[in-house]
Amino acid sequence: MPLNRLATLSAALYALFMTCLPITAFAVDPFEFQVYGYRTQGKGNLDPELLSSYVVAGQKGEDGEIGSQSMMRYAVELEYGITDKTDFAYYLNLARPDGGDLQYAGSKFRFRGRFAEAGQLPVDLGWYSEIEWWTSKFNDDVLESEFMLTLQKDVGDWTFIVNAPDIDKVIIGPNHKEVFEVGWRSEASYQMWEHSRLGLQFYGGVGRVDNVTPTGQQQHYVIPTLHTVLFNAMPSSLGLGFGLTEGSDLFFLKANLHFGGDTDERIYD
């Protein structure tokens, strides 16, 4: 890559990081570190995916709780294109705590779509909605709903994506009477080669809209990510995750692997 392009990439990613850093975060789904682009799967297309992460330095469990330290997390995702503009997906969440066996953590159903063809609006706009349930070992709030908008803008070799506002409401659980939470996901990425791009992802939120959580208890992550195609057939996203608050896991590895879909897409989740 020419030095001027590398300098531009570094400056832009640093600017995005400094813009997002003051935003506080509350709750992040650790089974789904992926940012959703505008493109949908396409009618009749099936994309099995494996979302995985390993916590190198995390939180220790207290009072019988399962800690995140040395935990492996897996989300088996089956995404299917219902129409050219609407997708459906099912997720099976599994976890292996440090020294423990692989166990069921929860599941969810998700719909995702887009409002127009690419380029018809100043910013390509889509939507995302899901219902998720958890075992009490991993989340006291056992049934939740979520909705967010997906915004994407391509500028030359650059792609900017924002998934916000990410609105999360507890349906069954200790916090079902609380006001909903608002979070976000975002990424700035640069197309380096035909099937590879380098990105910087951010995950977090402001917590409850009526009562922001103290900074030390919040979760806030930045993940340098490489999107590429492995073995000329497997779109993949590989990243190093860094927690920015005391309530976050300090360091983890993530790997999202697609076993279907279109290897020519610029955007991989």
Q: Where are the beta strands (DSSP E) in 58-195?
A: 72-81, 86-96, 103-114, 124-134, 143-155, 158-172, 181-193
Number of domains in the chain: 1
Q: What is the pLDDT of residue 251?
A: 97
User: Is 216:244 a contact under the CB 8 Å cutoff?
Assistant: no
83 part of a folded domain:
yes
76 part of a folded domain:
yes
Q: What is the pLDDT of residue 183?
A: 86
d(C-alpha 99, C-alpha 70), whole Å: 9
Q: What is the pLDDT of residue 180?
A: 87
d(C-alpha 75, C-alpha 257), whole Å: 11
266 part of a folded domain:
no
| Type of residue numbered 64 | G
The CATH number that applies at residue 80 is 2.40.160.40
Per the structure, the complete domain to which residue 176 belongs is given by 3-258
269 part of a folded domain:
no
Q: How far is CA 223 from CA 8, 39, 41, in A?
A: 19, 22, 24
DSSP H/E element including 19: helix 3-20
207 part of a folded domain:
yes
- Which two tokens mark 51? 């979302």
Q: What is the pLDDT of residue 218?
A: 74
Q: What is the pLDDT of residue 53?
A: 97
167 part of a folded domain:
yes
pLDDT along the chain (269 residues), means of 10: 47 42 56 94 94 94 81 97 96 94 96 92 96 92 95 96 93 89 92 94 81 73 96 93 91 94 51
Backbone angles phi, psi at 184, to 5 degrees: -165, 160
Q: What is the pLDDT of residue 10?
A: 45
Backbone angles phi, psi at 204, to 5 degrees: 170, -155
User: Is 36:161 a contact under the CB 8 Å cutoff?
Assistant: yes
265 part of a folded domain:
no
208 part of a folded domain:
yes
Q: What is the pLDDT of residue 44?
A: 95
